[in-house]
Every structure is written in structure tokens, then in C-alpha cells.
Amino acid sequence: MNIVGRRNWYFLLSLAIILPGIISMAFLGFRLGIDFAGGDQYNLAFTQPVQASAVQKEMDTFNVEATAQQAGPNGVLVTTKPLSLAQETTIRADLAKKFPLDPSRSSYAQVGPTIARELVVGAGGLIVIASILIVIYLSIRFNYKFAIAAILALLHDVFVLTGIWSILGKVFNSPLGEINTLFVTAALTVIGFSVHDTIVIFDRIRENLRQASRLTFEQNVNLSIIQSLARSLNTSMTVVFVLVALFLISPTNIKGFTLALLIGIVSGTYSSIFNASPLLVVWRRLDPR
Amino acid sequence: MRVDRRLLALIAVIAVLALFIDGFAYIYRVTTNQPLTGPIRGVPTLNIGFLGFSQQIYVHKGLDLQGGTHLELEITGVRSGTSVSEARDIAVAIIERRVNSSGYAESVVRPEGLNRIIVELPGVDLEQAKQILGKTSYLTIWKWEPGTVDAATLQQLNPADAQKYPGYKPVFTGIDGGMITNASRSTDPNTNLPDVTISFNSKGSDLFCAFTRDRVTHPQGDPQNKLAIFIDKSLVEDANVISEICGGSAIITGGFTAASAQALAIQLNSGSLPGTISIASATEVGATLGATTVKLSLLAGAFGLSIVILFMLLYYRLPGVVASIALLLYAGIALAIFKLFGITLTLAGLAGFILSIGMAVDANVLIFERLKEELRAGRTLGAAMEAGVHRAWPAIRDSNISTLITCFVLYFFGAPLIKGFAITLAIGVGVSMFSAIVTTQQFLQILAGLRPARRLAFYGVRAPKAA
């Protein structure tokens, strides 16, 4: 199997997935959850089926920029602009009067604008800080070329994930594609996993390079990928099993989270096999030192 | 490498300890004569007298798992003379008192950042939470002096209250709620009627002492003998001063019911809030929703664990058995750590834990793949096992350290929700390194020593032709 030889096809496949995402991010942006946009969110659960349109109509009377979306037959997700305490009390009392609300299965969240702003800056900062520290560690353990290839693969995964999220949230208008704190957590996990995966293959390359052999660098990298393939697929598969289980049974409020992890882990496995190590070969050709 | 008896003993001790802590709730039930199922009374606590060890052992569930209200409060408009962080700490103390006097168990009030306060109230909905926090009010103590009320005072106080006694005006004594360290409902021992006891700090105590000493000189019935307590603009108490009060505490009596005394105590406590408190963010989770989430997560965890074990058994055969035992041990140890150190499990935390199962398996997969390679290359079982562990180690180390770096960044810079995730993932990674390296290796060595376990088919490898 020659993975490194067909590297351009694999790069192309990555590009084909990332490009629509980047276009969507650039022109449509994201569907921001209240964590980032500020506002109030009601996750309403009812004792019998209720149409989102009925809730929407009721909420429109309050004039609070409300949007109501169906979340399962007995559930409606309502998002509004930031409400005052008094407004919130009035709305809640009204909803409880007009609809068969089940408070013990409902949830509610409010995020003020200051906190939202901090989170946006914080989330971006976390990714940058984590990446820098990982580059430093890998530069010590391997060398800077390995470190940068690992970070490129990591960025690949971040772009795949955020791109798909932008498309889900803006093109398909799905609540799954909401950017919230849980999504950031998922993205950070994916980063950790992606690097984890890449390092295992890099470790093999490092080991094979140390042994005197007649193989070229390119052959060596390919051999290392093949040797690590069983491990890469097996490990990812076990995690994917767990995540598919989680995704199927998770309630609406965390479905997006498990889906993000699932996409990210699959992308992470792909990028460590088909992008990170072939990148080392490309670099070697451009700069054969 | 041979089987290391000391390491084996260590594994056994850790396993027994973990099992003890995981099952501690049952031991607690037995020792306190409770049935083994149903809701538990009290908090399972482990006391070892001669070590001076006392620790509550149970899974601390986050609000998203047990239902309740999480508030992030922001303090603004801090009165001059107080720094923002001082104001924050005073507010924390006051809110804590208010929450505790309302009797909500397991609630958390803690400062966050420079001007924020986190309040977590399990099993409380947002409406109740708002009532507990109440409105912020400002307490002041005034005296009556002959004269007419000026316009400035009329701005500060209700005109009707300020002009209660014709020919007298209220004059601020300089004592305000900031000097009250505590107020609580009490009972008058003589009349058995409810009253309110307040305690002052030293400055308040001195001022109050001087003020009452001065008031006593006026005859009873004279407004100048009275002490007027205003909360915000309203006169709530207008009492006669019978003797000077210098002990640092005072009792307010007069026509209270138990409820109104309680309400005044709470108001007095809140009267010293040194600024305005507003809600920066609030989350409310219904109790049933939380319980459903827990059930689903546990189900997913159990399901994931079973699939992983099944996969390991089918793919790696005998080493798969070793990995499965190591994995169960891993799950047991991690749970014990969560219980023992009171790590709060949130939804994100559970996700981190479930993810770490995947990473724990990875270490074993790495070792077993190497083991297979070495066996195919014709090494003996013992040598192959040693080489497998030895050569898989750098990859396990580097990949786990980079995960720990991510956890570290998340923990120190992340929002509270992200912190929970980082902690459980880090614990998971740490324990998995122990289980993969120490446990798996020792178990493999035991296998290598057993004659029936030496058939290569048990390891999913055909005997090499050339060997």
C-alpha cells in the first residue's frame, strides 16, 4: 500500500471537505449559541406534544427577538435576547399557564453580554496556547518539522469541524450546529486526540529512521504509516464505538457535543494518517536537509 | 524481565483500595443499618480515628446532572472606600449566610475572578434562587435631633418616615450595614417572643456604644432616646434605648413574628452588601432532566466499555483478556479517585472520562500491536512482551503528555465547565498510563510464565515459518 505516493489525492480530499466549510464560515459565519452571543435560552419540555410555531406565536407577543425551534415532539427550544429578571419571570409564568410545561425536565440558561465576550476571546486563546505548548514539546521530542506538521494536521481537524458546524448551523439551520461552550470543549478534545494520533505515527518514523536501512525517507514514512495502521484504526474505532453509542442516546442538549467529537475523531484519524506524515515528505522534498 | 512481586502487590493493594472506595456506600449502609437499596440517609463518611482521617466519599454531581440553578453574579457600583475584590469577598460571605440560613444543602458560593461570584444551588429553581438572593438593600442607623428635615435627607429617606416626629429630624449616626457582621433570628428569654440579634465589627461596636450611651441620657418617650433603623428608604425599627450597648452586639425587639424576624435578619445581612449585584449568567436544569442525563451517560459508558472489551477479546485474544481486566481496574481506580477527592462530575466531565477510556485502550493497543510484530519476527513470548512494552513506551509517553498539556491549558485558563472536563480527562490519562504500563506489563509477564498460555494462536499470530 502506497499512501505517501498518493498523497496529493489525499490532500485534495481534505481540501474538498474543508473548502465548502471555509466558504460557509467566510460568508455565513456561525450559528452562535447564547454562550457566545449572550441571551436567554429555554429548553422547554412538555407533558404532551407541542408545536414550535405555537410557542413562537406566544413568544412574539413579548417582543424579545424570540426564535422557537422544535426539539423532539414534546420539546421546544426558545432563544431570546438577554432578558431582565422581571421579564424572565413574566415569560416563564405565561408559558407555564399556556402550555403543558414539565419544569423538572426543562432547563434554562441566561448569559450576559460581558461573559459572552470573555468566552469568545477565551476559547480562541485556549486553542492558541495549547497549540504553542504542544509545538514546543514536540520540537524537543522530535524536531520542529514534525511539530509543525502535527500542528498543520491539527488545524486541518479544527477547520473540518468548524466548517461542518458553520454549514450545519447556517445552511441547514440545525440547532446541532450551534457554537457553544460544549462545542469548544469538543474542539479541544479533538485537538488532543489528533496530536495523540499523529505522535504515534511520528514515533514509528523516528524509530525507523534511527535504524540504518536502505529505505529512502519517503519509503520510510510510508512503512511507518502502514506499521501503525492497525493501531490507528483500532484505537479510533473503539472511541468511535463509544461516541456513536453516546450520540444515539444523548438528549438534544448534548447531541451536538457528541456529534462534534465523532466528526473530529474521524477527521483526526484521517489527518494523522493521510496528511501529517505525507506533509513531512513534501517538506523534505522542498528542503532536503 | 521477570514478574515483579512488589509491583504485583502494589497493584493488588490499589485494586482493593479502589474497590473499597467504589463500594463504600454499601459498607456505609451496612454499618449504619440502612437497607442496601433506596435513598441513602446522611453522607457516607470514612473516619479513621488514629490517623485523624475523615473524608466524605461519594460522587459529587454537578448541577447539570442533579438539577438546580447555577448563577454567576457580578458586583458593580461598589461604594467608595471599598476595593472591588473586598466588596466581592464581603458579598460572598453575605450570600453564603443567606443561602445557608435558607437551609439549602450542598450549595456552593465562591468568588470567581475579580468581580464575580459563582452560586450553585442544587435542587433549587431560578425563581427560588432569585428570592434567596433577594434585592440588595442598604441598612443605616439614625438618631432623632430637634430641627426640621432638610431636602437632602428627604431624598434619602421616605418623607413620611423622616417626618415621623414633628420638630425632630433624623441624623445619620455613621453606622451602616457594612459594620454588621451577622444578624440572626433569636428569642427573647423573658417573653419567649422572636427578636433579632445583630453583631457589629469593632468600628461599628465603638460607634454603637458611644451612640447608645449618648441616647440613654435622654428620658424614655423622648424621640431623642430612640434608635431608628432604616433599610433603604424605609424605617423598619424605631426602638427605645434602655441602656448603653457596648458588647458588640445588640438585640432588636418589638412585635416580630417568627417569619418577620427571620425576614429582618436576612435583610440586615443583605443590608451590608457593598454594591449592586446583578446576574451575569444563569443556568437552571430540571431535576428529572439531570437524572436522565446521568442514566444515559452511564448507559453509554457501560455500552462503550462492553464494546471495547468485546473488540479487544476478539482481536487480541489472550492479551485482550489482560487488557479487559486492566480496563476494568482502570475504571474502578478512576471512579475511586473522583469519589475520594470530591471531584465534581459534570456532563462535560463524564465525556472526558468516557473519552479517556478510549485513550486507556490505546496504550494497550500500542503494546499489543508491537507484541504481535515481535512474535511474528520470531522472538520468544517473554522477550516479545518485554520488547512490546519497551518499544511502545515512547509513543504512549509522548501522546499522553501532549494530552496532559491540553488538559493543563484547559484547567488553568478555561471556563468552569471546561475545567471539569480537563480534570477528569487528566485523571483518566494519568491512571491509564499506570494501568497500561504497570498492570498490563505485569499481567503479560505472568502469562509468559504459564506453559498453557504460550500457544501463539492465543495472541492472534501464526507461528513464523522461518523460526
Size of interface A-B (CB pairs under 8 A): 205
- For residue B215, the model assigns a pLDDT of 87
CA distance B73 to B310: 48
CA distance A161 to B135: 44
Residue A270: count of CB within 10 angstroms of its CB: 23
Residue B467 reports pLDDT greater than 60: no
Grade residue B95 by pLDDT with cuts at 50, 70 and 90.
Answer: confident
With CB atoms and an 8 Å threshold, state whether B288 touches A122: no
As beta bridge partners, residue B460 has: none
Q: Select from A34, A261, A239 the least CA-distant residue to B421.
A: A261
CA distance B104 to A166: 42
Nearest-by-Cβ selection for B127 from A89, A106, A249: A89
Higher confidence at residue B243 or residue A162? A162
Q: What is the pLDDT of residues B295-331, one digit of tens each?
A: 877 777 787 788 888 888 888 888 888 888 888 888 8
Q: Which CATH number fits domain A39-111: 3.40.50.300, 1.10.3720.10, 1.10.10.10, 3.30.70.100?
A: 3.30.70.100
Q: Which residues of A touch B408 (CB under 8 A)?
A: 133
Q: Which residues of A touch B315 (CB under 8 A)?
A: 234
Helix, strand, coil share (%) of chain B residues, nearest 5:
55, 20, 25
Find residues 253-272 of chain A whose CB sits inside 8 Å of chain B: 254, 257-258, 261
CB–CB of B241/B225 below 8 Å?
A: yes
Region B444-461: mean pLDDT is: 76
Superfamily of domain A7-33+114-286: Multidrug efflux transporter AcrB transmembrane domain (1.20.1640.10)
Higher confidence at residue B452 or residue B438? B438
Would you state the torsion angle of the CA atoms of residues B115, B120, B125, B130, taken in this order, to the nearest 10 degrees? -30
Residue B49 reports pLDDT greater than 80: no
The C-alpha of B336 sits at a distance from chain A's nearest C-alpha, in angstroms, of 22
CA distance A58 to B99: 35
Copy the grid coordinates of residue B121: 444551588
The C-alpha of A213 sits at a distance from chain B's nearest C-alpha, in angstroms, of 17
With CB atoms and an 8 Å threshold, state whether B403 touches A192: yes
For B337-351, give the DSSP string: HHHHTTPEE-HHHHH
CA distance B403 to A193: 7
Find residues 10-49 of chain A whose CB sits inside 8 Å of chain B: 43, 45
Q: What is the pLDDT of residues B16-47, one digit of tens each?
A: 988 888 888 888 888 888 877 777 777 777 77
Among chain B residues, the shortest Cα distance to A199 is held by B399
B386 φ/ψ sector (left φ>0, alpha ψ -120 to 50, else beta): alpha
Q: What is the pLDDT of residues B122-153, one digit of tens each?
A: 888 887 777 767 655 567 888 898 888 888 78
Q: Which residues of B touch A185 (CB under 8 A)?
A: 348, 351, 417-418, 421
With CB atoms and an 8 Å threshold, state whether A109 touches B425: no
The whole-chain average pLDDT of chain B stands at 80
ipTM score? 0.78
Q: Which residues of A touch B400 (CB under 8 A)?
A: 196
With CB atoms and an 8 Å threshold, state whether A251 touches B402: no
- For residue A10, the model assigns a pLDDT of 92
Domain ranges of chain A: 7-33+114-286, 39-111
Q: Which residues of B touch A246 (CB under 8 A)?
A: 297, 300, 304, 351, 354
Residue B267 reports pLDDT greater than 80: no
List of domains in chain B: 5-21+286-459 (1.20.1640.10), 68-285 (3.30.1360.200)
Q: List per-residue pLDDT tens for chain A, 289 residues long.
A: 788 888 899 999 999 999 999 999 999 988 888 877 788 888 888 888 888 888 888 888 888 888 888 877 788 888 888 887 778 888 888 888 888 888 888 888 888 777 766 766 777 787 788 888 888 988 998 888 899 899 899 889 999 999 999 999 989 888 888 888 788 878 877 887 888 888 889 988 988 888 867 888 889 999 999 988 888 888 888 888 778 877 877 766 678 888 998 999 999 999 999 999 999 999 888 887 6
The whole-chain average pLDDT of chain A stands at 85
> Side chain identity at B398, as an amino acid letter?
D
